[in-house]
């Protein structure tokens, strides 16, 4: 479903943010990426989504080589992949339903997309996605009135409206209280297990990773230090991920 091969990112300054990353995520898997700030976790997700261009390597999503595509072909292939960020990035003045329905615009294309118009069936689908994240009673509310956990669930519903096969989540619980964080992780676990999405989630919290992940990937200084089933990763001393590498 998602295959990353020798993915690297070097900036013009010479800094290497990502070093030959290799891993695969199947449909139904939740893979959690751990590492300190600046370790390359977010760079990895951004390269996969082609929000930034990798310097080398290959990203295959649903049989498309994302690193080779450009323009319309890239936009079309990118609909198979959705990404949620730490803050959700909702349009706060618009309704919850409108925010979720926007996820369909990239799929529909044409003049409807340009004018933000959606068929009735897409609005009906948006209601279903809200029900899937337990926000069905909030559909008419302005997104700016939601709590942090609710806003993140709304962002996930918007991603589902895109009908992706791969879901990327970059620090989705970083600004949430423990109870809301657990709710979001349970939701991501269910989307992998029941909806058969391939889910890659960047976290800072090892305890959440070990509790919810199928596999855990440890990243340090842009390189993958380990890629193990969660139960095996839990037996490691991962404190080295959060300490500076010796010169």
Nearest to 207 by CA among 53, 37, 34: 34
Q: Does domain 1-80+164-247 have CATH number 3.40.50.300?
A: yes
pLDDT value at residue 244: 60
Distances (CA, A) of 163 to 13, 134, 141, 173: 38, 18, 23, 22
- Tokens standing for residue 192: 């992998």
DSSP structural state of residue 247:
-
pLDDT value at residue 213: 97
pLDDT value at residue 76: 82
Instruction: Specify whether the CB–CB gap between 198 and 167 falls below 8 A.
Output: yes
| Euclidean distance between CA atoms 131 and 177, whole angstroms | 22
* Residue 189, CB-side half-sphere exposure with 13 Å CA sphere: 14
| Euclidean distance between CA atoms 98 and 122, whole angstroms | 11
pLDDT value at residue 245: 54
Q: Can you give the residue ranges of every domain in the chain?
A: 1-80+164-247, 88-163
CA torsion, points 145, 93, 152, 241, in degrees to nearest 10?
-110
pLDDT value at residue 117: 63
Please give the model's pTM, rounded to 2 decimal places. Answer: 0.90
pLDDT value at residue 111: 38
Averaged over successive runs of 10 residues, the pLDDT of the chain (247 residues) comes to 95 92 97 94 93 93 83 82 86 92 74 54 91 94 94 94 94 90 94 96 94 97 96 92 63
């Amino acid at each position: 479903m998602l295959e990353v091969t020798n993915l690297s990112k070097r900036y013009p300054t010479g800094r290497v943010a990502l070093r030959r990353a290799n891993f695969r995520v199947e449909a139904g898997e939740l893979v959690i990426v751990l590492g300190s700030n600046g370790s390359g976790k977010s760079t990895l997700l951004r390269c996969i989504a082609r929000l930034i261009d990798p310097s080398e390597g290959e990203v295959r999503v649903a049989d498309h080589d994302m690193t080779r595509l450009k323009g319309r072909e890239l936009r079309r292939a990118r609909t198979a992949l959705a990404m949620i960020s730490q803050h959700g990035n909702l349009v706060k003045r618009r309704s919850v339903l409108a925010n979720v329905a926007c996820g369909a615009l990239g799929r529909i294309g044409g003049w409807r997309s340009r004018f933000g118009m959606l068929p009735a069936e897409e609005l009906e689908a948006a209601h279903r996605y809200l029900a899937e994240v337990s926000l069905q009673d909030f559909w008419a509310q302005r997104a700016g009135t939601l709590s942090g956990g609710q806003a993140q669930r709304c962002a996930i519903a918007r991603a589902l409206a895109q009908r992706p096969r791969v879901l990327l989540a970059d620090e989705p619980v970083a600004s949430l209280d423990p109870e809301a964080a657990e709710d979001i992780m349970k939701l991501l676990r269910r989307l992998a297990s029941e909806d058969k999405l391939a889910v890659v989630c960047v976290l800072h919290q090892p305890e959440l990773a070990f509790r919810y992940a199928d596999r855990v990937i440890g990243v340090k200084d842009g390189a993958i230090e380990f890629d193990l089933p969660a139960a095996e990763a839990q037996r490691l001393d991962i404190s080295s991920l959060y300490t500076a590498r010796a010169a």
